[in-house]
Amino acid sequence: MQLQDILYSQGFGTRRVCAGLIQQGHVQVYDKNVPPALIPCALAATEFEAFELRFRVQGVDWPYAEKAYIMLHKPVATECSQKPSTYPSIYTLLPAPLRQRPQKAAVQGVQAVGRLDQDTSGLLLLTDDGQFIHRMSSPKHHLPKVYEVSVKHPLDDRQIRRLLEGVVLDDDPKPVRAADCVMVSEQHLRLTLTEGKYHQVKRMLAAVSNRVEALHRSQMGGLRLPDDLLPGQWRWLGPDDLLLLK
């Protein structure tokens, strides 16, 4: 695969832009046989095996990824939208190549897998794999999601019991149950859900006469948000990470 085509597939701009980056000496490729040696590249048509290729563009290291899978520590006061109404978009936290990865559809770049409210922080997945987004968003998937919930009023056993047994939300007569519910402290609840209804955590707490003051998603399936991934930071997901989401 030509180097300019590899860069294009990874979101570094049009093929002409990618060729220019190479010709201007801004691209080096890591030698698979002599790591961590870098090979200077000046010819856009140089052929490389894309699989497991690592390269450096303008001083930043990148892995070749046929599909991009990343986790983002979403901060509060950000919106999961390309066209935010009030707060900055989460997509401004990502480097340009992730936002510009080409796709067959009209929308380019990685997309959020589901959404977190503007006042909710925590683990958010993004990818340009449409099938992955569909599978993860399907109600049949029942992926457990763990939320750290700070509440206004002191918690008690009755509230915990009701959340586990099921509460009725306004638009659905069928009770919605928590898969797990742990009172960490008097005003800190660890709630595990396997459904994804609109403002579900806030509405469930309101149904037991309490109020959410702060909400943070700490885990999806077996995938935890790392302690060292600070708000606004992102990280690539590897094959082992993706297995934790099944």
Q: Which amino acid is at 214?
A: A
Cα distances (angstroms) measured from residue 174 to each of 96, 137, 139, 165, 171: 44, 20, 15, 12, 9
Q: Determine how many CB atoms are found less than 10 A away from the CB of residue 168.
A: 11
Residue 209, by phi and psi: left (phi above 0), alpha (psi -120 to 50) or beta? Answer: left
List strand residue ranges (DSSP E) for the chain, in order.
27-30, 38-40, 54-57, 60-63, 69-74, 111-112, 120-127, 145-151, 167-169, 172-176, 180-185, 188-193, 212-220, 223-224, 234-236
Task: Report, as residue numbers or ranges, the catalytic residues.
Answer: 117
CB 71, CB 125: distance < 8 Å: yes
Query: Among residues 145, 129, 103, which one has the least CA distance to residue 237?
Result: 129
Burial class (CB in 10 A: 0-12, 13-18, 19+), 45: exposed
